[in-house]
Structure 1
């Protein structure tokens, strides 16, 4: 396989602390006492779902089920900010925004705890969960069997892949099969790279020239290769492709890749069963109340909705 690894310019990592809810006192030994009301922070103005999030009431029963360190210190979440509309940096240059931070804030608020969101490079995120640096990972991560060997997923949306091509689609690209012999950009070590590699193998199996794959650490760099003409296509998630194509400055258009829909999950350490189940139940409460649907609608992503939260697809 011909794969060129392109090392992008070093980008400064931005770490932002997002707004969640203050921890509730939830000691089971004091179950008969009146719980003190939580002092809740407000979601930032850049969060399109702020009105919905700020109205979410914490559930003391869920708070009581959390590990003590999370009840007292809150949730530590990581997201790779640069994948709009799923996760990005707000107008102040530091605040995390997008659908993933919105749902992260909503879950934390339902659990009655604070939430700190840290921007992290994609390849460092799962190791950060394994080592305990972070409690949850929400960064549009596909729930795959391979990743389940390292982390446990609470699935929260269903999404598919897409492609970005130059405005007017001069190469006439319609499906991945049309990429044979072409240069394609992707984010390194993600599901988009796997799709590019599978397409490359299929091209060669059919006697055609394979793909010239350019791998990048970030989505912005991968997209730039189409805008500057270095790549004929960028494989990414369709929601991201559609968002970028809506900006006339990019001079690209989005194509959906049929049959690629899959669950995306919130990644957690597999040993943290209490937290895994609490996150699942908090998400299900948001789904049942309709708040989940309103948050997706605020980002024009209603098509990603699932009927109930799953653990590893079950």
Structure 2
């Protein structure tokens, strides 16, 4: 696979606060063996605690979740027999807050993605085993059967459907981050960017989209200035000093920044979103299993159970990702077309 999804290069390069950055070092240390199972949080029977050990990235919330027999009955016999769900996360080497990173105990992988994997396992009546790896080895794990299903910000694409089956669970969105005091908002129309100076990461999907908008504006005699910075700390300084109007990046990264900056002298906010798949299709993030494994349907049904009973909304809210909610989990929904995968 060429990339983890249209937004993932930037997500993996997000600079965290000093405390989280130090934890990232621990993540690399505790997961040097890409096939090793990462420590999984143990909850009381019938409960799953999300946002635990998050070092301020989430609001810890305990949810009541029990096995649903009608859904667990759909599991492939081999999975039901072993009684565990091996959840793959491609968080090495540094993690991607708020999606996946080592927790404040410096041992346990936390984040919105492993949390959802544990919620789904609870509905399926299985014990979750979180297996951490590099992005490349995540797919090797799924291919080899060492990983049952990946919850790791994987974008649903038509190219990937050749080898994998999907159960969607989040929208794949980009977002604009601005100072909280800013009155500017992106309304979904590229012409709204005329006269603005926007920072973006080089070589990312969001850069591709932004440069397309810049070219369109130029044809209309309007100007959009695009700026590049070495890392997110430099981008934040430029944003706070007024040298740029906004930064454009993956919505989860923006959600994380907003959470971390909330009580700082320079709070920020989300000023609008855009599909990571572009204007013609809503990108989707999906649980990923080996094609014809028979896991996509029970996983999707488990997610829909969580949606219907409110635990899904609380999971997203805990991680400040409510703006990426889907109404329903779908099995193999339309993905990025082959010419944009």
| TM-score, normalisation: structure 2 | 0.64
| 2:97 aligned counterpart, secondary structure | coil
Q: Does 1:143 align with 2:156?
A: yes
Equivalent residue, structure 2, for 1:79: 89
Equivalent residue, structure 2, for 1:36: none
Choose from 84, 91, 111 the match for 2:104.
Answer: 91
Choose from 60, 71, 76 the match for 1:67.
Answer: 76
Which consecutive residues of structure 2, in runs of 5 or more, have no partner in the other structure? 1-8, 14-23, 32-37, 276-281, 335-341
Choose from 208, 212, 215 the match for 1:197.
Answer: 208
Q: Does 1:56 align with 2:76?
A: no
| Deviation of 1:183 (Å) | 6.0
| TM-score, normalisation: structure 1 | 0.68
| Deviation of 1:198 (Å) | 3.3
The count of corresponding residues between Structure 1 and Structure 2 is 278
Q: How does 1:115-126 map to 2 (within 5 A)?
A: 115-126=128-139
Choose from 142, 158, 162 the match for 2:175.
Answer: 162
CA shift in 2, pair 1:21/1:255, >3 Å: closer
CA RMSD of aligned residues (A): 4.2
CA shift in 2, pair 1:254/1:51, >3 Å: closer
Equivalent residue, structure 1, for 2:283: 262
Q: Deviations over 1:131-190 (max 9, x none)?
A: 433221212333233333342220112352113468878xx996975699976326x7xx
Separation (CA, whole Å) in 1 of partners of 2:168 and 2:98: 18
| Deviation of 1:106 (Å) | 1.0
| Deviation of 1:224 (Å) | 3.4
| Deviation of 1:300 (Å) | 3.9
- Mapped contact 2:41–2:108 kept (Cα < 8 A): no
CA shift in 2, pair 1:104/1:212, >3 Å: same
Q: Deviations over 1:44-80 (max 9, x none)?
A: 853756520xx31113343343234423151221224
Choose from 309, 327, 341 the match for 1:307.
Answer: 327
